[in-house]
Structure 1
Amino acid sequence: MKKRLTFLLAVYAATVAFMAVQKPVFLWFHASEAAAASAGDWWRVIAHGLSLDLTVAGYIAAIPWLLTLTSLWVPLREAVWRRVFDVYFVLIALFSAAVFAVDLALYGYWGFRIDGTILIYLADPREAMASVGLWEGVRQTAIFAAYAALMIWGYRRIVRRFSGERVCRRLPWTGVLAVLGGVLFVAIRGGLTVATANVSKVYFSADMFLNHAATNPLFSLLSTLGDNEDYATAYPFFDESERAARFEALRGDRSSGAGTVRLLRTPRPNVVLVLLESFGRTVMDAEVGGEAVMPNMQRFRREGVWFENFFANSFRTDRGEVAVMNGFPAQTRMSVMKLPAKSRTLPSIARSLGREGYATSFAYGGDLNFTNQASYMYATGWQNLTWQKDLHFDAPTSKWGYADDVMTEWFADEVLRLSERGRPFLAGLLTLSSHEPFDVPYAKFDDKVLNAMAFADECVGRMIDRWKASPAWRDMLVILVADHSYPYPYGIAYNTVLRHRIPMIWLGGALAGVPLVVDVYASQIDLAATLLAQMGVDHSDFAYSKDIFDPALPKFGYYTFNDGFGVVDAAGAAIWDCTSSAALEASNPALLDVGRTLLQTTYADIGNR
């Protein structure tokens, strides 16, 4: 039985090694892109890449584990079992080698690791092969053959370790193998944290080439095989010419020539973006026994620029982040953040300000691998990311990570440090304590949700008061905006306008003419163009984002839910459920076509990226 266990451990270890060796080969193959990489970078590529290598090894070892477990109870000759294993590993080797060889070649053309997109081209193999030159074909065939031969040779030596001898105590050894199966499951899942295995796990650098080099191509391919939905036809409300014509009237990147109200005292402030987890407007306005749940947000509302009619574009953090930071509308039943090859093509505030010489950094007290955030953020211009793995506070963590009291204190110091360096910066923070299970080191209200919200409000209030008391405040623009709302009062329908109303407040010494109340109807996607317009930075690549202060552009808030959309403006609202193809509300029926146009255009856009 010990030989069986040794066999399984050897299979797993060898597979990890076979996957890891791909990293230096990839760097060597793309030597021109890797020219600036140091020896330390090469080692970091291998080390960070191990996360997905371990996951892929878990998948590959799962069948041998199952066969080994079966061999305890099914009396077949040892030669038969070895033949079965040989066939399995030859197939694995051939498939792995094919993916590796094709990916090496495609990366030079695509600029990202192989994914489910390749299935589009395999639908017409003759056309795909027509693009392959003779030398390239010979070279990649040789790489395929060499890598497959290496894997087959290694696996065959390991199969010789397998013993099919009869085991006397089958039940105890079955239990041992069950435990080993649990370990494999953890490896496949990517660990025990809330974030499961995804390409974000291996991203570690602002240099996207190094992140790509660390990515396991097998994982990149297999994890995206279900992502080849025909997004462009998901919501066929209008024919293409009509859709395009309708969108022209809604787009934000067209020049109105009407100008914009200037709020900034300086065109190049230091920008601090604080994404407030679940800070719904209904929660912000709530009181318990006459006491405000969020007294600091109420105070800041009276001090800065307050956006009275502002809406979240979604009900999820990953989609809210994309709406805020990329000016890209939220989706209904998918998330573009989880499609790295597409999300990296989105315009972004971080990339736009990076071009203007800004240092960009983002912090989160939890795991930025969750929903692929890290890879998305590096790819869209955030140069430095700091999250739970980088922080070592002497403080307990919740399910999601470090609580807001610890993180806001650290982030307050970090912003002050950035202010002393003299280079303009964009610094972002995502809070997390106002998220279920709402366990916080605080006891103000009996209601668990409101208590957590009050805790987060207090932490943010202390952080901003520290900045206000420092010289850095003079050149600072702080933007407080929720990532999405929360269903409070309890039982509020998930698709209603009230469910998506959120606060947005601008604060800071860089502002002139405050306090100010802005009554314009807008949503998260409009923040990007509004901020960049205030700074005099080109925002023509943000097709959906409208400058809130441009009087000539349409004024409305737009959001999506599980399979529908809502649009609201000063004249009323329209809510459409796509599943039932029915209007749930239409106090302003004209907005139904606005929502249809935006939803169809969003998915068509994703399909074309």
Structure 2
Amino acid sequence: MKRRILFVVVLFFATAVLMAVQKPLFMAFHAARCADCGAEAWWQVVRHGWTLDLTVAGYVTALPLLLALASVWVPLDGRRWRRALAVYLVAVSVVAAAVFAVDLGLYGYWGFRIDSSVLLYLKSPKEAAASVSGREWLVQGSIFLLAAAVLSAVLLSVSRLLETPKLSSAGRAAGTAAMLLLGGLCFLAIRGGASVATANVSKVYFSSNQFLNHAATNPLFSLLSTLGDDKDLRPQYLFFDEEERAARFGEIRGDRPDSVVGPRLLRTTRPNVVVVILESFGRTFTDERVGGEWVTPNLQRLKAEGVWFENIFANSFRTDRGEVAILNGFPAQTRMSIMKYPAKSRTLPSIARSLAAEGYETEFVYGGDLNFTDQASYMYATGWERLVWQKELRFDAPVSKWGYADDVMAGWFGDEVLRLAGTGRHFLAGWLTLSSHEPFEVPYVRFEDKILNAVAFTDDCVGRMIGQWRRSPAWDDLLVVLIADHAYPYPADLPYNVGRRHRIPMIWTGGAVAGPAVVEEYGSQIDLAATLLGQMEVDHTPFIYSKDLLSPSVPKFGYWCFNEGFGIADPQGETVYDCTSGRVLIDDDPASGRLERGKALLQTTYKDIGER
């Protein structure tokens, strides 16, 4: 009986130690983010993270413990149970190693530990893999293989401790009692202790340095604990009771009855509209100079010639969420994407549907696969009449990992807009670029930094395309909206949740623009819908979240979501709130009301989705 007990105890603590060892490895892999952290910080990460390591160890040990308990009463064939136990432990090792390796790689881009949102992108593995360079495949693949080998070797060696000799009646009774006691302790570990609060990520948060909190989080627990957390959305983020939520949201909603029309930016209320969504074009790119030379000289020129919106924020960090914010005026979510729920996304208001009702043709173009993250079904359901993408495009040009490069697509889309203009019908045309996306491999050499070089390439392609339109008669009635789908963690040490990480450009250019102007008002992607439709004198009351940035009666602020919370900014400063820990991470003015606005907006978003 002692061997059974020893096996369960050693397996539990061996698993916990293996989980704990991942923490300093994670910190070492991302050493630039903790360069100022001393030995005490490293120790605190391991110490505070131990709680969730024990929880994961409890889950891993539960099935072998039941096997050991069963062996007290039921004779087990030695070879069969050892084989079954080995298969189980190797499977656990492979899963844990895969999560560890993927999480290490993703954290550099996402800025948070792996969770269920990764599954949204694994449904289209080809496109998900396109983000990974050959070097990253080699590094993360090697880490996975090494981690799987180490975990398997340790856990299989522990399994050899289990022996199941036949027991006497007294031995069975004592063995059952011992196993039930161990089972109770295992349950407590899974639960996260005996206190009222059960195991959750916030239990390991201990520092004002968010990276240290993330380092303390067990990645396997982070993933498993979020599986299925979007099934019932209405109960999430219950900051206020319903009456207070409705009142607070009523103060910031875009379709307020006291909204008035602001100054005119356009020469006509019926321009032909082109929306170019620029992949990953954060302000840290577009505001960057290298050796005195702008990374995006064309955007800088267009900024001076057209309408420049100075204080615009991306609502999220992923394309699928940014597209919905831009095209539907609907706020991004933390750990889910409404685009992945066709029954819900089709009910959203959309710029395409609103303009189609005014007689506009609508067409959206992408050089890659629009099936990725269910974009095609979402686009058709929200009013885009024609979709043009890689499956029906045939160019004598190489295809990158994501699809046709931006120079190829800019040439085609440039001609397509002129063709649409020649039909005599009003139109809305959209194009999502793709070359300024990981792995940033482009047929262009201007900067040594491959990320800046890819951004410069797209800027060059867009500049040439707009130059083509400017030289044509179509220019006079054309409104071109340039806006990013999201920003990017550049420089690498830029925190993932602050306002600077989410600042993006928005430029209106074209012959339909009345003249150069700068709009200083604070806003985000969701505000494009009401601002654009307001200028076109098209009803935008269905867009309850979208604010007309030119209306003096509507409150103005930028808003963004990240995996664990939200941020909100206005001329007085910014507030960043972490929902996992319930902490205010940044607040330049606690009396500003920004925190309450952000909470009301996030709570309303999830309530709205849950009821669609």
TM-score range, shorter chain: 0.5 to 0.7
- 8 Å contact from structure 1 (residues 316, 483) kept in 2: yes
1:591 equivalent to 2:594? Answer: yes
The residue matched to 2:490 in structure 1 has which SS? coil
Q: 1:319 aligns with which of 315, 318, 321?
A: 321
Following the alignment from structure 2 to structure 1, what is the Cα–Cα distance between the partners of residues 273 and 376? Answer: 20
For residue 257 of structure 1, report the CA deviation from its aligned partner: 4.5
Match of 1:193 among 119, 122, 126: 126
1:193 match: secondary structure: helix
Matches for 1:94-493 after TM superposition, within 5 Å: 193-194=126-127, 226=228, 229-493=231-495
Question: What CA distance in whole angstroms lies between the structure 2 residues aligned with 1:193 and 1:573?
Answer: 38
Question: Corresponding residue for 2:553?
Answer: 552
Deviation readout 1:372-428 (Å, 9 max, x if unpaired): 000000000000000000101111111100000000000000000000000000000
Return the letter of the residue paired with 1:570.
Answer: P
1:573–1:192 CA distance, 2 compared to 1 (3 A): closer
User: How much is the aligned-residue C-alpha RMSD, in angstroms?
Assistant: 1.4
Cα distance change of structure 1 residues 508 and 454 upon mapping to structure 2, 3 Å threshold: same
Distance in 2 between residues matched to 1:599 and 1:266, nearest whole Å: 36
Question: Aligned residue for 2:571?
Answer: 570
1:533 corresponds in structure 2 to 534
Cα distance in 2 between the residues matched to 1:259 and 1:405: 39
* SS across alignment from 1:423: coil
Alpha-carbon shift at residue 190 of structure 1 (Å): 8.0
The alpha-carbon deviation at position 342 of structure 1 amounts to 0.3
- Does the residue aligned with 1:232 lie in a helix, a strand or coil? coil
Flag the 1:400–1:549 CA change in 2: closer, same or farther, 3 A.
same
Query: Deviation digits for residues 266-301 of structure 1, max 9, x if unmatched?
Result: 111000000000000110011111111100010001
1:561 match? 562
Query: How far is the alpha carbon of 1:261 from its aligned partner?
Result: 1.1
Q: Which residue identity is paired with 1:575?
A: V
Distance 1:281 1:191, change over 3 A: closer
- Distance apart, 1:263 and its partner CA: 1.3
Alignment partners' CA distance in 2, 1:265 and 1:423: 18
Residue 191 of structure 1: CA displacement? 8.2
> Given residue 545 of structure 1, which amino acid in structure 2 is its aligned partner?
S
Residues 450, 423 of structure 1: alpha-carbon distance in 2 compared, 3 angstrom cutoff = same
Which residue of 493, 496, 499 corresponds with 1:497? 499
Superposed CA deviations along residues 339-398 of structure 1, whole A, max 9, x for unmatched, are 000000000000000000000000000000000000000000000000000101111111
C-alpha deviation, 1:260, in angstroms: 1.6
Partner Cα distance (1:292, 1:192) in 2: 35
Cα shift readout 1:32-59 (whole Å, capped 9, x = no counterpart): xxxxxxxxxxxxxxxxxxxxxxxxxxxx
Work out the CA distance in 1 between the residues paired with 2:335 and 2:228. 13
**1:605 counterpart letter in structure 2:** D
Aligned pair count? Answer: 392
What percent identity do the matched residue pairs reach?
67
Q: Distance in 1 between matches of 2:469 and 2:389?
A: 22
Q: Secondary structure of 2:234's partner?
A: helix
- Secondary structure at 2:126 match in 1: coil
Deviation of residue 258 (structure 1)? 2.8
1:141 maps to: none
* Offset from partner CA, 1:121-155 (integer Å, 9 cap, x none): xxxxxxxxxxxxxxxxxxxxxxxxxxxxxxxxxxx
CA distance in 1: counterparts of 2:447 and 2:530, whole angstroms:
39
Q: Displacement of 1:195 after TM fit?
A: 6.8
* Shift in CA distance, 607/472, structure 1 to aligned 2, threshold 3 Å: same
Deviation at 1:588, TM superposition (A): 2.7
- Cross-structure match for 1:30: none
Deviations 1:197-250 (A, max 9, x none): xxxxxxxxxxxxxxxxxxxxxxxxxxxx95861111110100111101110001
Distance 2:427 2:557 in 1: 30
1:479-515 alpha-carbon deviations (Å, 9 max, x no partner): 0000000111221000011000000000011111x21
The one-letter amino acid of 1:315's match is F
Write the distance in 2 (CA, Å) between the matches of 1:564 and 1:377.
27
3-state DSSP class of the match of 1:426?
strand
Rounded to whole Å, the distance in 2 between the matches of 1:192 and 1:325 is: 25
2:609 is aligned with what amino acid? I
The answer on whether the counterparts of 1:348 and 1:380 sit within 8 Å (CA) in structure 2 is yes
Distance of aligned partners of 1:467 and 1:248 in 2 relative to their CA distance in 1, 3 Å threshold: same
Structure 1: unaligned runs, 5 residues or longer: 1-188, 197-224
Letter of the structure 2 residue corresponding to residue 554 of structure 1: P
Q: Is residue 315–residue 484 contact of structure 1 (8 Å, CA) maintained in 2?
A: yes
Query: How far did residue 254 of structure 1 move?
Result: 1.7
Distance 2:257 2:125 in 1: 50
For 2:508 and 2:310, the matched residues in 1 are separated by: 12
1-side partners of 2:262 and 2:123: how far apart? 48
Letter in structure 1 aligned against 2:499: V
Which deviations, in whole Å up to 9, do the C-alpha atoms of 1:153-176 show, x marking residues without a partner?
Answer: xxxxxxxxxxxxxxxxxxxxxxxx
Counterparts of 1:606 and 1:191, CA distance in 2: 24
Distance in 2 (CA, whole Å) between partners of 1:564 and 1:190 is 25
Question: 1:422-474 CA distances to partner (integer Å, 9 max, x unpaired)?
Answer: 00000000000000000000111110100000001000000000000100000
Q: CA deviation at 1:255?
A: 2.6
- Counterpart residue type for residue 564 of structure 1: G
SS in 2 for 1:300: helix
Please tell me whether the aligned partners of residues 230 and 607 of structure 1 are also in contact (alpha carbons under 8 angstroms): yes
TM norm structure 2: 0.63
Conserved 8 A contact 1:195-1:371: no
Asked if 1 retains the 8 angstrom alpha-carbon contact of 2:124 and 2:372, the reply is: no
User: 1:79-123: per-residue Cα shift (whole Å, max 9, x none)?
Assistant: xxxxxxxxxxxxxxxxxxxxxxxxxxxxxxxxxxxxxxxxxxxxx
Equivalent residue of 2:331, what SS? coil
Q: Distance in 2 between matches of 1:191 and 1:558?
A: 29
Contact 1:418 1:425 (8 Å CA) reproduced: yes
1 CA distance for matches of 2:288 and 2:265?
29
TM-fit CA distance, 1:320: 0.3
Q: Distance in 2 between matches of 1:399 and 1:237?
A: 43
Contact kept in structure 2, 1:195 and 1:367, CA below 8 Å = no
Which sections of structure 2, spanning at least 5 residues, go unmatched? Answer: 1-121, 130-226
- On the 8 A contact 1:195/1:369 being kept in 2, the answer is no
- The letter of the residue matching 1:603 is Y
Q: Distance in 1 between matches of 2:518 and 2:256?
A: 26
CA–CA distance in 2 between the matches of 1:586 and 1:348? 33
1:526 maps to amino acid? D
AA aligned opposite 2:334: T
